[in-house]
Structure 1
Amino acid sequence: MNRPSAPTNLAKNCAAWTRRGLMILGVGLALLGVSASVSNAQQPQPPNIAAAADLKFALDEVGAAFTRDTGKVVTLTYGSSGNFLRQIQQGAPFQMFLSADEGFVRQLADAGKTVDGGTLYAIGRIILFAPKNAPFKVDPELKDFRAALADGRIQKFAIANPEHAPYGLAAEQALRSRGLWDTVQPKLVMGENVAQAAQFASSGSTQGGIFAYSLALSQHVGDLGSYVLLPADWHEPLRQRMVLLKGADDTARAFYAYIQQPAARAIFRKYGFVLPGEGS
């Protein structure tokens, strides 16, 4: 009787061991995959922070500094304060709100949506902006702007929507204070928020605009034209208040505290905000 040679038996054994090993490896990888999925599911998501659009450049820097100094991460979402007010009232999952109008924070506090009454973190300013090749020149008294409105050089002019954007309301108030609102109103192009108004004006989509000083101080906007700071007494103060919302986690609370520290205050100051405890 012929018997299998030793090499043949060895080959069969090796093949069986290989199949068994691959099965074990496959099970192990599957278990690792399950383990990784469970681990990822257990990782806390960064808290979502609702922030007024005028904060875009300043708060991006503050957020980067916060992460560098603490190792914690937040997700910053920008928009008009009035729209955020409505979204939070309807249950949007934000953990903190930085409003350009402190009245919106007080409404949320009165409705029981917040941890407390919040903290004043900055006072904003507005500017008149003219893009490169604009048909008028900026000046502190708005003389050429007034003349350009009267003689038809300006056909499109950008501000944020005053109905829900505090900087748009401040722009309206400033124009009314100079007796220019009725003349400019038919020419207005409304931004959904102040950052969009700045985009319209700086890109040349309109022939100018009024928007946040903090946005003009960014090279992304300021280098695209010229501007003049408008007097603060031409409009109601843009008192900007922040607040923690119910359910805020430890990271959101740490970010709230960080904004009140010297490192963050220095960044806000750089972008033209008047800070609590400091003069105008």
Structure 2
Amino acid sequence: MAFPALILAHWLARFSAMSGRMLVSLALLLLSSSLHASEPIRIAAASDLRYALDDIIENYHQAHPDADIEVIYGSSGKMTTQIIHGAPYDMFFSADIAYPEKLQELGMTATEPSIYAIGRIVIWSSTLDAASLTLEDLGSDAIRRIAIAQPNHAPYGLRAQEALQSAGVWEAVQDKLVFGENIAQTAQMARTGAAQVGIIALSLARFPELAEHGHHLIDERLHKPLTQGYIVTRHGKDKPQARAFADYMESDAAHGIMSRYGFVLSQ
């Protein structure tokens, strides 16, 4: 009977060792999940969202007080390049859905690109009555500096260029143009007097400090749509809070804030 007892002891020892390893693995898994849950969500966002997204995050914190969300605002093109080169963003909100689609083609997304809104552009000024201005007026000798975002990497700048071209004044304003790195910087240039006029995002013109001055809404038929989209990046695929915030962006509360800032919600 000693031999079976030795066999039984051997298998009990193996089971005990396996159970120990399984417990250690389970503990590490739970620890990893806990760390992912507590890590901040890092968001790269187009500058036209600066005020709307800040308000959305403030609302989100009311329901999720422990959520840690960091947002970096900039131009969509430059942020796409940063993500391609390894920037640790968990989500990306782009002013042009073409950029998230590019990241998807490169295998750098954890979700399908989703449209969150359509943006609009306006003529805005802190010194002139922008509400009475048209694109054709920008060719006047009385206007010496016009701020737009850099068309090479900022979707709002490219749409401003398209609108000026459609209005037939692109060539006439070449010597007047000053370029912001992103649409928020462009608005700041117009606000501080570095430019008399800016072609900026409606969402920025609706911010209370800028809304004190009127604006002229540019006919959307003069440029391609500013179809805006977001994704959870490959870096954020294991962060439940990133997906939770993505779900919140589809909520009535988030939509209400976006509408208030002049975004047209996708149907």
Is the 1:217–1:271 Cα contact (8 Å) retained in structure 2?
yes
Tell me how far apart the structure 1 counterparts of residues 119 and 107 of structure 2 sit (CA, whole Å).
27
Structure 1 residue aligned with 2:78: 83
Structure 1 residue aligned with 2:232: 244
- Give TM-score, length-normalised by structure 1: 0.78
The aligned runs of 1:261-280 (5 Å cut-off) are: 261-277=251-267
Structure 2 residue aligned with 1:65: 59
Is the 1:171–1:210 Cα contact (8 Å) retained in structure 2?
yes
Structure 2 residue aligned with 1:14: none
Give how far 1:90 is off: 0.2
Structure 2 residue aligned with 1:229: 217
Give how far 1:65 is off: 0.6
1:103 aligns with 2:98: yes
Deviations 1:197-237 (A, max 9, x none): 001012222110101000000012222x3211111111000
Opposite residue 107 of structure 2, the aligned amino acid is: G
The aligned runs of 1:111-130 (5 Å cut-off) are: 111-130=106-125
Is the 1:127–1:228 Cα contact (8 Å) retained in structure 2?
yes
Gaps of 5+ in 2: 1-34
Q: Percent identity?
A: 40
Tell me how far apart the structure 1 counterparts of residues 230 and 240 of structure 2 sit (CA, whole Å).
16
Tell me how far apart the structure 1 counterparts of residues 97 and 130 of structure 2 sit (CA, whole Å).
34
Opposite residue 248 of structure 2, the aligned amino acid is: Y
Is the 1:140–1:229 Cα contact (8 Å) retained in structure 2?
no
Tell me how far apart the structure 2 counterparts of residues 141 and 215 of structure 1 sit (CA, whole Å).
19
Structure 2 residue aligned with 1:182: 171
Is the 1:54–1:212 Cα contact (8 Å) retained in structure 2?
yes
Is the 1:74–1:251 Cα contact (8 Å) retained in structure 2?
no
Query: Equivalent residue of 1:181, what SS?
Result: coil
Label 1:170 to 1:269 Cα distance change in 2 as closer, same or farther (>3 A): same
Is the 2:123–2:133 Cα contact (8 Å) retained in structure 1?
no
Opposite residue 153 of structure 1, the aligned amino acid is: A
Tell me how far apart the structure 1 counterparts of residues 49 and 68 of structure 2 sit (CA, whole Å).
17
Is the 2:130–2:216 Cα contact (8 Å) retained in structure 1?
no
Give how far 1:141 is off: 4.3
Give how far 1:84 is off: 0.4
- Give TM-score, length-normalised by structure 2: 0.82
Give how far 1:131 is off: 1.6
Opposite residue 139 of structure 1, the aligned amino acid is: S
Query: Equivalent residue of 1:153, what SS?
Result: coil
Give how far 1:70 is off: 1.6
Give how far 1:177 is off: 0.4
Is the 1:74–1:252 Cα contact (8 Å) retained in structure 2?
no
Moved over 6 A (4+): none
Query: Equivalent residue of 2:80, what SS?
Result: helix
Tell me which moved more, 67-76 or 232-241.
67-76
Label 1:220 to 1:255 Cα distance change in 2 as closer, same or farther (>3 A): same
1:201 aligns with 2:195: no
Give how far 1:111 is off: 0.2
Give how far 1:163 is off: 0.2
Give how far 1:112 is off: 0.3
Give how far 1:140 is off: 6.4
Tell me how far apart the structure 2 counterparts of residues 51 and 157 of structure 1 sit (CA, whole Å).
25
Is the 2:122–2:199 Cα contact (8 Å) retained in structure 1?
yes
Tell me how far apart the structure 2 counterparts of residues 128 and 44 of structure 1 sit (CA, whole Å).
43
Query: Equivalent residue of 1:128, what SS?
Result: strand
